[in-house]
Chains A and B, each alone.
Chain A
């Protein structure tokens, strides 16, 4: 385990559900959805990670968002995984921590239908403005 990953795991032990090391440069950490702001802020503001993007997907029993962060000093990528319930898919927006989250959160909102609490401008990004409500292209039928 590299130095930077040790630093992270020490700080977020109570927020972590599972840590998975894919190889030397790829780590996946599943965390509790309510801790996302705390962990993202730790990575971005304190440890100097760069936010790459987020992947939203519809798994059968839950929705999943994976936030990918890059540590450019060593080339490691830490992916934070959160699982959200199908009944009420929502999570705190990260756009107050870094502006780069604004677009991708709008995209996940319109494609999968996950609500981002506290997003300043949650409107369509890729789909047209008159796209019907409650119709999400990337949800499994």
Chain B
């Protein structure tokens, strides 16, 4: 019996609405159709109606989780266009904000992934510790999200030196937390059995779909914009880029956990160097943006964000192209999810870290009778039951 499972498309609060139509035979996913564009806001067009100093606020609203990624890539693009150099202190502040964001975004993903496979303790713990990061961001910028820290030529707010010990303390506290999660995931035979070999994206497919970020690095593609095309303070600090080779959900989880250690390493090095720079020197004054074009990139928690700006010398860009990492990563579900069982669908689609609220409204329709209805909750339940079964085997 062949069924179609539509997942999505949308919910007014979600950040990335998308619609997955799973074609299912028995338990197996045989094909998948992906549709996006349910909440297209036309930000590329809106951006050409704003002047250069307003655009960071516009692009910050593209994503509610990695909200600093787009302003980061945007200021890189404009600075590339105009050849602007940023004060050293501002560079460190930029990198600190970028890495704090990666930390809280990965905690968020970890929690949801845990929930989908029935590890609700991981969910609760992970979100609890994410609060520490959000609190620090609130202390620095006044906001848990949408920090409004970035502007062309520098940053809008300083991180005063007397705040540094508080941030360092938070980072040190997180290390033991990440250790705990690493143990909970890498040493648990049930999670190994549940996630290894599930939702595999091979290296060949990853290259063909040009995926980015942790999705690429879990499939053996060693790319990271922070290291390959250094910007902000990333050229001046030391960090590793974890790369794994199996391309399954397990590796995607492990890559993210290992990345969190590197983020803490980067933040601590930046804070150390920040203290040596004079306070308050956070901005280069910009008189005008010359005609020309510029490209900016930033390694967001989900992968490379890309911005292209074309200027005609006025105070507004004439073209602003934006490409978010999920634009590439979600498309790769077309190969990763096919051949899986329905019980693995939820975690496979979730493994590239798209927005989850979008998938809240899922239904299973029996094509023959048009009757049987399963919702997203049932899919998650199926996924959790499978974990339960595996867990019993190990008891």
A-side residues, CB < 8 A to B, are 22-23, 25-26, 28, 50-53, 55, 57, 66, 68, 70, 72-77, 79, 98-100, 102-104, 124-128, 137-138
Contact = CB atoms under 8 A, between A and B. Distances in A.
Contact of B208 (A25, A53, A99, A104): A99
Contacts of B331: 99-100, 102-103
A103 B230 CA distance: 28
Contacts of A70: 229, 304
Contacts of B36: 103, 125-126
Contacts of B222: 72
Contacts of B323: 52-53, 104
Nearest to A124: B37
B228 A73 contact: yes
Interface string B281-316: 000000000001111010000001010101000000
B306 A79 contact: no
Contacts of A102: 331
Contacts of A50: 207, 210, 223
A28 B210 contact: no
Given A51-B210, A68-B295, A23 B80 contact: yes
A2 to B, nearest CB: 13
Residue among B37, B40, B83 with the highest chain A CB neighbour number at 10 A: B37
Contacts of B228: 72-75
A64 B274 CA distance: 43
Given A68-B295, A124-B37, A98 B223 contact: no
Interface in B318-372: 318-319, 321, 323, 327-328, 331, 334
Contacts of B44: 138
Given A28-B293, A75-B228, A75-B230, A57 B319 contact: yes
A137 to B, nearest CB: 7
A73 B227 CA distance: 10
B42 interface: yes
A56 to B, nearest CB: 8
B327 A55 contact: no
Given A23-B80, A25-B229, A125-B37, A99 B306 contact: no
A57 B331 CA distance: 24
A124 B19 CA distance: 14
B245 interface: no
A52 B292 CA distance: 20
A66 B327 CA distance: 17
Nearest to B322: A53
B310 to A, nearest CB: 7
Nearest to A51: B210
A66 B308 contact: yes
Contacts of A72: 222-223, 228
B335 to A, nearest CB: 9
A141 to B, nearest CB: 12
20 contacts: A22-B80, A26-B80, A28-B293, A55-B308, A57-B310, A68-B295, A70-B229, A74-B228, A75-B229, A77-B229, A77-B295, A79-B295, A98-B207, A98-B209, A98-B210, A99-B331, A99-B334, A100-B209, A127-B37, A127-B40
A68 B80 contact: no
A137 B230 contact: no
A66 B321 CA distance: 10
A77 B229 CA distance: 9
B45 interface: yes
Contacts of A77: 229, 295, 297
Nearest to B81: A22
A53 B306 contact: yes
B188 to A, nearest CB: 34
